[in-house]
Amino acid sequence: MADQEIKDLIRARGRIQASLTRIQKFVQQYDETQDVLNIKLRMERLEEIWNKYEEIQDRVESIDCDPSKHDDFRSEFETKFYDLNVKMQRIIDEHDAKSSEQVSLNSHNNLKLPAIKLPIFSGQYDRWISFSDMFKAMIHENDSLPEIQKFHYLKSSLSGEAERLISNLPMTASSYTSAWKLLVERYENKRLIAASHIRQLLGLKQLHKESANEFAELVNTISNNINALQALNIQASLSDVIISQIITERLDSTTRKAWELKLNDLPFPPLKDFIAFLEGRRRALENLNPGKVNTYADVRSAHSKGDKHTKDRRNTNTFISTATVKCPMCIVQV
């Protein structure tokens, strides 16, 4: 059943790809003698294609047992989409510039869309910084845009968990400030952003043969995540941060929760403080359960003594059994 659904979704995805390709060919052949409305109409169609693609792609990846095999298609489609969007917007901008005498640049009714298509943010911590920087530069800090328009851009740039976070806010101008504050409070967490990049480094796939493409992917992944960690301007030692994350990933859920509560708003505590915390947990557990805490040496010693005791008891039983067999007359005499 799932296999058939995936096949149907992939066919639907192919139709979406074909629609994108047709628009791409039109843009390539477009010249100034044509009405710019042809570009604007296709740009609206491009938005519909993107929304449908996101719906189908997310569905495919959610039901396929190996979603990674769809990564190449996602990367190719998104690259083509963003490049096409930029080209179309530039055509519109150039047309509007030539007609600037007839347009009031100070009127909200004649505001142009940003020249570059905004990325979609779905709630992944490692993508927050790039999304935030671009959105602030293009929308948030643009004083010519009214709040209600900013809120519209923001909602159209979110998906997944991030979209659900602000979904209950009404579509009003006053909601924009609240929505942006919610997103910043949730995702502008340097420690969680760093943890996300470190997990990607720890999860690098094993290379089984020499391959230029796989080496390129490996180097790109390493460089991107290291650069992203450095861009966070972490005051603590980067090696301490990475080691702390490795240790955190190995902790039981109760200890990890206790550490998170202890950290509170402290983003990157020194590694020595983390080790001191773990030592404190060890002492607390030892004091609470003194009879249940053994060192490795104690356990080995206990096992050794137990084995010796068992062996001695076995030897004694053998002696008694042998003695009983050798003295049958004692039983007769009694």
* Residue 45 to residue 214: CA distance in whole angstroms: 36
Domain count within the chain: 2
* Residue 99 to residue 204: CA distance in whole angstroms: 52
Please tell me the predicted confidence (pLDDT) of residue 328.
Answer: 40
On whether residue 18 sits in a domain, the answer given is yes
pTM of the model: 0.43
Chain centroid offset of residue 134 CA: 19
User: Residue 326 is encoded by which pair of tokens?
Assistant: 């050798």
Please tell me the predicted confidence (pLDDT) of residue 92.
Answer: 84
Domain final position from 249, 266, 288: 288
Give, as one character, the DSSP assignment of residue 51.
H
Report yes or no: 268 and 190 within 8 Å, Cβ to Cβ.
yes
* Residue 229 to residue 241: CA distance in whole angstroms: 10
- Domain ranges, residue 220: 192-288
* Residue 25 to residue 30: CA distance in whole angstroms: 9
Report yes or no: 77 and 56 within 8 Å, Cβ to Cβ.
no
* Residue 92 to residue 39: CA distance in whole angstroms: 7
Report yes or no: 294 and 306 within 8 Å, Cβ to Cβ.
no
Please tell me the predicted confidence (pLDDT) of residue 183.
Answer: 92
User: Residue 316 is encoded by which pair of tokens?
Assistant: 């004694």
Please tell me the predicted confidence (pLDDT) of residue 230.
Answer: 74
DSSP string, 200-220: HHHTPPPP-S--HHHHHHHHH
On whether residue 324 sits in a domain, the answer given is no
Report yes or no: 53 and 10 within 8 Å, Cβ to Cβ.
no
Residues near 45 by Cβ (< 8 Å), separated by ≥ 6? 19, 23
User: Residue 172 is encoded by which pair of tokens?
Assistant: 């009003």
On whether residue 153 sits in a domain, the answer given is no
* Residue 260 to residue 247: CA distance in whole angstroms: 13
Digitized pLDDT (tens) for each residue of the chain, 334 residues in all: 577 787 888 888 889 889 889 988 888 888 878 888 888 888 888 888 888 888 888 888 787 767 677 777 878 888 888 888 888 888 888 877 776 544 444 444 455 544 567 788 888 888 888 888 889 888 898 888 889 889 988 998 999 999 999 989 988 888 999 999 999 988 887 777 887 888 888 787 887 887 788 778 888 887 887 777 777 777 667 777 778 778 787 888 888 788 777 776 667 777 787 888 888 888 888 888 766 555 444 545 555 555 555 545 445 444 434 444 444 434 434 3
On whether residue 232 sits in a domain, the answer given is yes
Please tell me the predicted confidence (pLDDT) of residue 36.
Answer: 83
319 CB-contact burial (10 Å; exposed 0-12 / middle 13-18 / buried 19+): exposed
On whether residue 293 sits in a domain, the answer given is no
On whether residue 237 sits in a domain, the answer given is yes
On whether residue 131 sits in a domain, the answer given is no
Phi, psi of 161 (to 5 degrees): -60, -40
Please tell me the predicted confidence (pLDDT) of residue 115.
Answer: 56
On whether residue 139 sits in a domain, the answer given is no
Residues near 209 by Cβ (< 8 Å), separated by ≥ 6? none
305 CB-contact burial (10 Å; exposed 0-12 / middle 13-18 / buried 19+): exposed
Q: Which of 35, 149, 150, 137 is nearest to 92 (CA)?
A: 35
Please tell me the predicted confidence (pLDDT) of residue 101.
Answer: 47
Please tell me the predicted confidence (pLDDT) of residue 177.
Answer: 92
